[in-house]
Amino acid sequence: MLLCIDVGNTNIVLGIANQDKILKHWRIRTEKEATFDEMGITVGDLLRSSGIRMEEITDIIISCVVPSLLNVLEEFSHRYFRIRPVIVGPGLKTGMPIQYDNPKEVGADRLVNAVAAYEKYHTALIVVDFGTATTFDCVSKDGSYIGGAIAPGIIISCEALFEKASKLPRVEIFTRPKNVIAKDTINAMNVGIIYGYAGLVDGIVNRIKKEMGLELKVIATGGIAPFIYKESESIDHLEEDLTLEGLMIIHKRNR
């Protein structure tokens, strides 16, 4: 079995893959000061709760955008699984040409998402990933990564709003507003958050389509994607396991 680990700034997504299928997946909070023993205990507990023995893990692949955790995860892989993990980064075979001024600047998660989306749809597309940042990644018709855009994520934008506007209460940000013209403060904030981000996505996607001169397929992924997908006019498909699928594909290409 293959253990896939995607480390983001807010969450770590883990998945177990076997025979080209994601069997189990979990999302845990990213603790940037975590030790390899803490990771070992956490992952061990998750595996046992799903009836999977640690000895059944034969391979590990890691995508990480938190530099302080990369060495921790490598040590965790050695100590608990006796496996040298595959690390997504420069020099790894992805099967996707990168048309970026400095290819090393492309976040590992962004490239993994692009690889998975193109493998699934085989057409020009945009991947919108709703994470700590909201990223837009563009893939050409021939399967090249050609760039994209980065916007502040929903969570950090909300945190800034709650922190800087002292009279505004913290709200449950994933409640769909009943009306666009709200009659109270909490609903007014929900309107701005939900419809505001749906509008941000639609606006950037439409500009990308105009610049590329193509009718692109738009794929949404990330922990918050299901909430915005329902309100966006431009997103075609929701793929919640896209990053794990991309890690599985890249591991297969480097096996």
Active site members: 109
Q: Which of 94, 95, 97, 75 is nearest to 84 (CA)?
A: 75
Q: Which of 244, 225, 12 is nearest to 119 (CA)?
A: 244
Dihedral of CA atoms 158, 108, 226, 30 in degrees, nearest 10, equals: -60
Q: Is 51 within 8 Å of 1 (Cβ atoms)?
A: no
The dihedral region occupied by 143, where left means phi > 0, alpha psi between -120 and 50, and beta the remainder, is left
The SS3 of residue 195 is helix
Round to whole Å and give the CA distance between 30 and 11: 5
- Cα 10 versus chain centre, distance: 10
